[in-house]
A and B are shown apart, each in its own frame.
Chain A
């Protein structure tokens, strides 16, 4: 199965500038291990939610608003793709994302498989 691993950093990990050296190294080491885990296709981090712009279209009119479409504190900060046997395997990988130990979270979403016929 293919999973999209959606990462929310939480305020502590998002505040990269104010992390001490040891904190940054631990996060980088955690990510290095993750990216080398079989089944992981590394994704990317996103600029902070304060930089987000949300677009909706209503009655043909494009509505543009400042900020993410979820609350800032729950906003998406990064993602990667995981190929794993089942949800249990995906949960084990998710639990190794450094942000999960720092008040952040990972949402696991199976990638929709469109049947070709």
Chain B
């Protein structure tokens, strides 16, 4: 039963909370009511059995609790006025169906008037149902700091008049970009070794894919994350990072690769050509053997055009070096202004090594090692340096 409750919580929290915020227009009140409803469920379901539609049951219970609370608390004039102004209060909430307002919720949480770190925290708290402590731990800040960040964000939504709605068509492209950016940021935070965040980003991506089936970039972001995730079991060996080219392909998740490709095809069928579509296409090409480097290089060129990002240009240099030889790749890298980025140096080092310029390669690897941000990465660069010093042992295992 505990597991069943836990599962209901994970599955229903976001949707129940979204419906409550839509109804009450108040994040704080909605969160308290949702928490109360889940507590009541924990007490009653083991005794009376799980209701046929747990989500609707939770939403209706939370809603009744919130109304009771407002009635009890007449002194909170603002909240009662709020309730009186909500026409939805006339319609009793159906026990079998309740509105899915998760999209309204995610667009509110990812509103550009909120700081990016607040957008991320609020999305994880409201849609993901992560506790303040869990989010604080994931972003290496204290509980108090994270609690304050969440409270401030909720206060700003209320005081600044950030609307609870899916933006109208003419605002949608920009605002959707912000939402997708937050989800992908959560995924990338998790990619460094926190699988709970990766899983959460995938859950959010799946929810968005379901709720916005006709948005190519939404499908493409999910494709991209699923394709990356398909390789998660092969990325580390005995705690050491394994580069894509050296990964044991039998550890790749074939089902996920197939799913990612199907999602990408859907995005292409929707005439998608945005940055996530291009990135997903690149990720899909990376799962093929042999890799089609000219095609990958061309797609990075397109992505560089779309994003004007020097990191993308660096990736293009690597692909070009595979397609047309290290000298061509090196030419692109030398033009880049990205000297504080470790991978600039490691990519340059690899090209120099292939060109037989071992001393320069060693110096570049050493620079990459100085800039490495964790032990596994530092050791990877150290192994590369050791291989340079002992060319005979340079079988890249």
The reply to whether B163 and A88 form a contact with Cβ atoms under 8 Å apart is: yes
B84 within 8 A of partner (CB): no
Once the chains are docked, how many angstroms separate the CA of A117 from the CA of B160? 23
Residues in B whose Cβ lies below 8 Å from that of A108: 160
The reply to whether B159 and A88 form a contact with Cβ atoms under 8 Å apart is: no
B161 within 8 A of partner (CB): yes
The 3 closest A-B pairs by CB, nearest first: A86-B163, A87-B161, A86-B161
CB nearest to B163 among chain A residues: A86
Distance in angstroms from B386 CB to nearest chain A CB is 53
A115 within 8 A of partner (CB): yes
- Per-position 1/0 for B79-111, Cβ under 8 A of A: 000000000000000000000000000000001
Q: Which of A87, A110, A115 interacts with B163 by CB under 8 Å?
A: A87
Interface size on B, residues (CB 8 A): 11
B113 within 8 A of partner (CB): yes
A7 within 8 A of partner (CB): no
- Per-position 1/0 for B152-180, Cβ under 8 A of A: 00000001111100010001000000000
Q: Which of B111, B113, B161 interacts with A1 by CB under 8 Å?
A: B161
The reply to whether B77 and A90 form a contact with Cβ atoms under 8 Å apart is: no
The reply to whether A86 and B77 form a contact with Cβ atoms under 8 Å apart is: no
A66 within 8 A of partner (CB): no
Q: Which of A58-117 contact B (CB under 8 A)?
A: 84-88, 90-91, 108, 110, 115, 117
The reply to whether B77 and A117 form a contact with Cβ atoms under 8 Å apart is: yes
Give B residues with C-beta under 8 Å from A: 77-78, 111, 113, 159-163, 167, 171
The reply to whether B78 and A90 form a contact with Cβ atoms under 8 Å apart is: no
Pair count A-B, CB < 8 A: 27
Distance in angstroms from A48 CB to nearest chain B CB is 29
The reply to whether B171 and A88 form a contact with Cβ atoms under 8 Å apart is: yes
**Sample of 9 more A-B contacts, CB < 8 Å, known A86-B161, A86-B162, A88-B162:** A1-B161, A86-B163, A87-B111, A87-B113, A87-B161, A87-B163, A88-B163, A88-B167, A110-B159
CB nearest to A84 among chain B residues: B161
Once the chains are docked, how many angstroms separate the CA of A39 from the CA of B78? 24
Residues in B whose Cβ lies below 8 Å from that of A91: 113
Once the chains are docked, how many angstroms separate the CA of A34 from the CA of B318? 50
Residues in B whose Cβ lies below 8 Å from that of A117: 77
Once the chains are docked, how many angstroms separate the CA of A90 from the CA of B113? 12
Once the chains are docked, how many angstroms separate the CA of A110 from the CA of B77? 20
Residues in A whose Cβ lies below 8 Å from that of B160: 87, 108, 110
The reply to whether A87 and B77 form a contact with Cβ atoms under 8 Å apart is: no
Residues in A whose Cβ lies below 8 Å from that of B77: 115, 117
Residues in B whose Cβ lies below 8 Å from that of A88: 162-163, 167, 171
The reply to whether B159 and A85 form a contact with Cβ atoms under 8 Å apart is: no
21 A-B pairs in the complex with CB atoms less than 8 angstroms apart: A1-B161, A3-B161, A84-B161, A85-B161, A85-B163, A86-B161, A86-B162, A86-B163, A87-B111, A87-B160, A87-B161, A87-B163, A88-B162, A88-B163, A88-B171, A91-B113, A110-B159, A110-B160, A110-B161, A115-B77, A115-B78
Distance in angstroms from A95 CB to nearest chain B CB is 11
Once the chains are docked, how many angstroms separate the CA of A108 from the CA of B137? 34
Residues in B whose Cβ lies below 8 Å from that of A85: 161, 163
Once the chains are docked, how many angstroms separate the CA of A82 from the CA of B377? 53
Q: Which of A1, A86, A115 has the most CB of B within 10 A?
A: A86
Residues in A whose Cβ lies below 8 Å from that of B167: 88
